[in-house]
Amino acid sequence: MYFYNSLLLISNILTLTVHTQSQDSNGIGISACGFFGARAQICGLSDVPITSIPADCLSILIDEVSVDLRYHVSIPCACNPNNRPLVNLDKILKMKGTKRVFICYGHANIEEWSAMLACESCNGGTNSLDEMKGLKAFFNEHPGIDGLILTGLEYDEDSFEFPGYSENLKTYLEVMKKSFPDLIVGLDLSGRFLIDQFTNPKIPWLDITVIDSVTDFYVVSVVFLNDCTSKDFRNGIAPMTASYTNYTLDKLKDVLKQASIPKEKIHFKFKLNPLCNPNDSYMFCDLTMEKICLQPQETSSWCVDTLSSFNEKGNYANKYGAGFIGSSLDFNDPDNCCNCEKPFIGFNAILDGFNGVTTKPCGSFNRN
């Protein structure tokens, strides 16, 4: 009897642990969302209050913005012509409730990273320690940031090999973890880069196995997997399989395995909203999900997922990763102009797919 009871207790504890882990996978949660936060101020569209972010969005990524630094931290905002400081970061931090807040953070490009990291593993992380002082000042100014997603780590067209990249980045991450023990740290990687790097590597890049022990999770972004250049991409720029592009989700899953990026730490970042041909003069403020429903004629050439391809992406994230991030939530029909079961149609349809549910058709979202 006692034996049976303690078994029961142990199994309850185990269930609880497993449940907590899946709710809280790697700190960012199975379903997270990118949030621009200035839709009304910058685009003149309806306001999306922080309180209307769905409960299922467990973490908020400050979207479309990255923090740059040269031993002091500043916040440039590409979308803000007046170069005002990041309008809503503090508001989001104040109102986040139980959600976690992550910001993108990093040196502008791999050249700056490699200059900074050059010899961190041989000098005890001197530059990293300096950088952490700048970061600490930033955290003090903006209390409540739970984690960082490091950006700019990929090679570009004319990069030279950075020998010792993995070891030096590892030292940097160790210094960061030691300086901020509660900080959750992920790396931002693009699916397009990974496919290029692992199908046709010109020069060696990061060895994930070296840095994995000091990395909490990986964001694998397919937000820019392809451009919206033709009818081929009408149903989204991140196709599962395709004859017209090598940048597919099917290819990506093989590449992630090749790169030794652990499935349990992969969070796919999906585009929720439409994209237009790069030759068209629409700005990002124009490219909203509600426009697809309200102006179907004008938007007929735009690239956007269907309910079933959103469902499929959720299913993919569950199968080949630990979760997903939808980007950008606030342009994803917050007022439910599309007459769907819920607002935020793309986010909810990916979540449905993740949970093995087929989303019910919407009144005005009829792209097939």
Ligand X SMILES: *[C@@H]1O[C@H](CO)[C@@H](O)[C@H](O)[C@H]1NC(C)=O
The smaller minimum CB distance to ligand X, of residues 160 and 244, is found at 244
The smaller minimum CB distance to ligand X, of residues 74 and 246, is found at 246
139-143 contacts, C-beta under 8 A, 24 or more apart: 139/180, 142/89, 142/90, 142/93, 143/93
Structure tokens at 91: 């508001």
The least CB distance from residue 227 to ligand X, in Å, is: 6
Q: List, in order, residues 6 or more apart from 82 with CB less than 8 Å away.
A: none
**Distances in whole angstroms, Cα of residue 231 to Cα of each of 124, 287, 293, 304:** 53, 17, 19, 11
Q: What is the DSSP string of 241-310?
A: S-SS-S--HHHHHHHHHHTT--GGGEEEEEE-S-B--TTS---GGG--HHHHHH-TTTTTTSB---HHHH
The smaller minimum CB distance to ligand X, of residues 123 and 246, is found at 246
User: Cα separation of 161 and 28, whole Å?
Assistant: 32
The least CB distance from residue 268 to ligand X, in Å, is: 22
Cβ pair 290, 337 in contact under 8 A: yes
The least CB distance from residue 242 to ligand X, in Å, is: 8
The least CB distance from residue 244 to ligand X, in Å, is: 6
The smaller minimum CB distance to ligand X, of residues 77 and 242, is found at 242
The smaller minimum CB distance to ligand X, of residues 105 and 247, is found at 247
The least CB distance from residue 202 to ligand X, in Å, is: 13
The least CB distance from residue 195 to ligand X, in Å, is: 10
The smaller minimum CB distance to ligand X, of residues 303 and 362, is found at 303
- Rg from Cα positions in the chain: 21
Residues that bind ligand X (CB under 6 A): 229, 244-246, 277-279
